[in-house]
Amino acid sequence: MGRRLVGRRGQLAYAAAYGLLPRTLLMAIEARPYAMSSMFAALALLLVVVYRRRPSWLRWVGLVLAIAAAMLVHLYAALPMAGLVAAAWFFTKGRRRWMLAAAGIVSAALVAPFGVATSRQLGQIGWLASEKYSLIETALVQSWAASRTPPVPEISDRVPDAIAAAMAVVAAILLIAVVVESRGRHLRRLAFALVPVATGVGILWIASLVWTNVLQGRYLTPVAPFFAMALAELAIHAQRRWIRGLVILLMVGSLTLFGFQQRTYAKASGTDYNLMSRVMRQSARAGDGFLIDPIQDWVFSYRGAVSVDPGAFSTLIDLAQPTKPPLDFAWAHDPPELNLAAQEWLPPRIWVASWHTRRAVYGSQLAELGYHSVYAKSGVPQGHTITLWEK
């Protein structure tokens, strides 16, 4: 798209802005629909550009399908898609503007039955209302990075948050500097890009501030192509050396956040998953058994520790779940409670992960079988203790 709008320089700027945007990088490492919604949003933007230049029915149908697909994989994408259609209508003249508006209407009609059928699922985000909304956290930090921090963060865990907030401030300064430097001229493409950003981000911000919290940073992913377009236009129009220095700062910040997002627990650090895998890597021996006290909960099973870092458990014996379960659920869940006394054989060394706030299951069984605890390592207050039992 950058090549069609600006030429080779624009091609590089657009590709770099979209490829290095922390929101894009973060969602690209998750097997969730947010990245796909961003992809379809980018495709819709490209089809708007090519249709405005050379309209055809094939491109019009493609635009309808791209907008519909973006909304089907993530309903919040309706907000930036509405902004895209509005911007396309405003910046286009003649019959083409009405055809672009019709594309938005038709795509909305295609998605409407799906939206009605899934309206009950809106309760899945009901928990957000109980969360205190922080504009700084969501608008500045999560909009850029969203690298989750542990329950008891160390100073180093706050570094990505500080970088993300700084990048948001730098981007705002860059926007103001370019607009002032250019005196508002030759910024039509920038204005075009900012309309979907305003509808896709601004509406959620306002709703969360004056009504109830309906926003998580990941919900802003469909806006990424338009935000990238705006950043690319700012980079292209930056003339003074210090303004170009702001662009370089954003690039350095993006690469730094990319490094933080590659950490094993960047996404799953809200619990002490890393406690058990760290203990296994440091102290376990090949052939040791391990058990995880089960809970009746469909989300918070500590089995996630095995899923997040399977390599730490590769030489151990999973006594309760010896074969890998099928991928039939979004979260790892506990197998049925095991009766250790009924087992034909148990290894002489068994590691047990038990909750601090729930009933211990396997520790008491092992004690009855003659095992005794020789080592214990505890995590956060609401987390777990990893205990080694030997016989």
Contact 25, 258 (CB under 8 A): yes
Q: Indicate the pLDDT class of residue 28, thresholds 50, 70 and 90.
A: confident
pLDDT top residue among 141 and 116 = 116
pLDDT 10s digits, 35-48: 999 999 999 999 99
pLDDT 10s digits, 167-213: 888 999 999 999 999 988 888 999 999 999 999 988 888 887 787 77
pLDDT top residue among 379 and 319 = 319
Average pLDDT over residues 45-56: 94
- pLDDT for the residue 151: 47
- pLDDT for the residue 143: 64
**Between β-strands 289-292 and 317-318, what pairing exists: parallel, antiparallel or unpaired?**
parallel
Distance (Å, rounded) from C-alpha 1 to C-alpha 7? 9
Residues 6+ apart with CB under 8 A from 168: 139, 140, 141, 143, 144
Report the predicted TM-score, pTM, of the whole model to 2 decimal places: 0.74
Sheet holding 384-390, edge to edge: 317-318, 289-292, 349-355, 384-390, 372-378
Q: Indicate the pLDDT class of residue 125, thresholds 50, 70 and 90.
A: low
Contact 189, 233 (CB under 8 A): yes
- pLDDT for the residue 244: 93
- pLDDT for the residue 137: 67
Q: Classify 94 in phi/psi space as left (phi over 0), alpha (psi -120 to 50) or beta.
A: left
Contact 350, 318 (CB under 8 A): no
Distance linking the first and last C-alpha atoms of the chain: 67
The single-letter code of the amino acid at 22 is P
Q: How many CB atoms lie within 10 A of CB 99?
A: 19
Q: Check pLDDT > 70 for residue 343.
A: yes
Q: Residue length, the chain?
A: 391
In terms of Cβ atoms closer than 10 Å to its own Cβ (0-12, 13-18, 19+), residue 148 is middle
- pLDDT for the residue 138: 64
Q: Which of 34-48, 112-126, 313-327 has the lowest mean pLDDT?
A: 112-126
- pLDDT for the residue 274: 81
Q: Indicate the pLDDT class of residue 110, thresholds 50, 70 and 90.
A: very high
Q: Check pLDDT > 90 for residue 72.
A: yes
- The 3 state secondary structure assigned to 305-369 is HHHHCHHHHCCCEECCCCCCCCCCCCCCCCCCCCCHHHCCCCCCEEEEEEECCCCCCHHHHHHHC
